[in-house]
Amino acid sequence: MTDLPEGIEHHRYLIIGAGPAGLQLSYYLQQAGSDYLTLERAAEPGEFFRRFPRHRRLISLNKVHTTSTDPEIRLRWDWNSLLHTPAELPFSDYSREYFPSADDMVRYLGDFARHHGLAVRYDTAVELVAKTDDGFLVRAGGRELHADCVVVAAGWGRPNVPDVRGIEHAIGYEDMSTDPADYAGQRVLILGKGNSAFETASAILGHAAMVHLASPRPLRLAWNTKHPGDVRGHHGAVLDSYQFKTLHSGLDCVIDEIRPVGDRYEVSLTYTHADGETAVMEYETVLRCTGFAMDTSVFAENCRPGLVPSGRLPATRPDWQSVNVDGLYFAGTLAQDRDFKKASSAFIDGFRYNLRTLTALLRERYEGAPLAYEKVEADAETLTEAVLDRVNWSSALWTQFEFLCDVLVVDAGAGVVRHYHDLPEDHAVARFGGESHYYTFSLRWGRDAYSDVFAIERHPQPDRAAESAFIHPVVRRYRGGEVVEELHLLEDLLAEWRRQDRHVQPLRDFFTVDLGR
């Protein structure tokens, strides 16, 4: 770092945002003794949850009672707690509800920050982030700060407004009334078919005369996609109303125009699955529930991050770094493009593990702290035990299925294997692509193996494990960047992969043959 002008404060890491992601990353860096500062524009943590969701009910599960007493395994069904040791602040102390209130999350985040004495500077809005030769210049709260690295954990910054003629006549999710009586007897069009749209429809279903939810693509049900951000089962009353012909409907269509006509709106639309059929529908209210997007207004031109094609999220490398700005990282909800609509990187239960890994990667780069690994013997029995111990215990691999993996790098000459935990698989392949013999193992769903999730034909034979529909372990052997072998282990109802015939022996045989080559 070059000498800074007098009055400019320096930190190795600047974190923007004190929501759950900013607090989790702050905790990890503080535990590591790293030099960091977190900037938050509001007076308290968790500002987003003070407003959203509008009807105050979270979709993140809070399963208080489980069959396990192991704290690590219990985290699989605790979608709200931040990670800390000892776990003195479980979210279950703040709510016993299966779908808790957003107000409970606000209380929890405030207590978490205070309990750990995190270095958060409140009432400090970031006004500018600019790149310098040796890091970043950040203007915030009327002061200038310098950092080697900036991590943006600010969450959603603005509504996502679709490009529709007359969209200004739609009331945004962020501004709409949440009193169902205000929609009594009305015909209501809701733009969007995500959880905010269904949350809104569920609230007004018994009051509005007609509710239509509209988007170009069909709705995605979470029980089909296995993604918690898709439409959840507790909104089933809306789907029932549609299928039982109660005037409420889901429309797959493009909205061409919204026109005010007297005390109502005429909406021109084109159906997407009806040979180009068009229609003009009348509504008293149009609500925009089309999600949120990242706010890029604080970035200087030399620091403006590249975005994914939709323009809603930053595009990131396998280490959560911006694809075009060196040293600019993203955390939390904003860092979901690489497993978009797959794992849970958009939610606390997923990104809390991502941030643990990100901390290790940041410290490796900026502090020279080697990435941790364990050494185990390069024999089939030891590797089998290591794999099964991890998949049966790790909540990170469970929650971040098909994204985070463990890596086994074989050093055949020394007879040892380096065992790395919880790396994104694309990062692992990029990192170890020069190695001739390494494995990844993770948990995966059997996607597209069935048409009806409630009528699955199962084949509980070890040699047909690749057809498993439920979550199950998968081991991949890599040579360089190429997958050369893949082994699936049979699914299990209780997710306990310990059976000698179904799990232990097939995995041991796999390693015995593969290590012998």
Task: Note the pLDDT of residue 454.
Answer: 85
Q: Which residue has the higher pLDDT, 161 or 245?
A: 161
Alpha-helical (H) ranges within 193-283 are 195-204, 222-225, 236-243
Print burial letters for 199-224: b (CB count within 10 Å at least 16), e (below 16). Answer: bbbbbbbebbebbbbbbeeebebbee
Residue 282: phi, psi to the nearest 5?
A: -110, 135
pLDDT one-digit tens code per residue, 190-225: 999 999 999 999 999 999 999 999 999 998 888 888
Average pLDDT over residues 277-288: 98
User: CA nearest 286: which of 264, 271, 269?
Assistant: 264
Q: What is the model's pTM?
A: 0.95
pLDDT at 2 over 60: no
Average pLDDT over residues 403-418: 93
Q: Which two tokens stand for residue 292?
A: 């949120």
Q: Which two tokens stand for residue 487?
A: 């082994």
* Percent of the chain topping pLDDT 70: 98
H or E element at residue 74: helix 71-74
Write out the residue limits of the CATH 3.50.50.60 domain(s) in the chain: 9-158+293-367, 167-290
Q: Which two tokens stand for residue 161?
A: 């407004």
Task: Note the pLDDT of residue 451.
Answer: 75
| Interatomic CA distance for residues 223 and 228, integer angstroms | 8
Task: Note the pLDDT of residue 348.
Answer: 97
Residue 311: phi, psi to the nearest 5?
A: 80, 5
Task: Note the pLDDT of residue 236.
Answer: 85
pLDDT at 265 over 80: yes
Burial of 497 (0-12, 13-18, 19+ CB in 10 A): buried
Judge whether 214 and 290 are in contact, CB under 8 Å. Answer: no
CA end-to-end span of the chain, whole Å?
A: 49
Q: Look at domain 9-158+293-367 and name its CATH class.
A: alpha beta
Q: Say which amino acid occupies 122.
A: Y
CATH no., domain 167-290: 3.50.50.60
pLDDT one-digit tens code per residue, 373-399: 999 999 999 999 999 999 999 999 999
Task: Note the pLDDT of residue 227.
Answer: 85
* Percent of the chain topping pLDDT 90: 87
pLDDT one-digit tens code per residue, 74-94: 999 999 999 999 999 999 999
Judge whether 49 and 102 are in contact, CB under 8 Å. Answer: yes
Task: Note the pLDDT of residue 298.
Answer: 97
> Among the listed ranges 156-165, 232-241, 257-266, 301-310, which one has the minimum average pLDDT value?
232-241
pLDDT one-digit tens code per residue, 120-143: 999 999 999 999 999 999 999 999
H or E element at residue 215: strand 210-215
pLDDT at 497 over 80: yes
Q: Which residue has the higher pLDDT, 458 or 269?
A: 269
Q: Say which amino acid occupies 270.
A: T
pLDDT at 182 over 80: yes
What mean pLDDT, rounded, does the chain reach? 95
Task: Note the pLDDT of residue 3.
Answer: 65
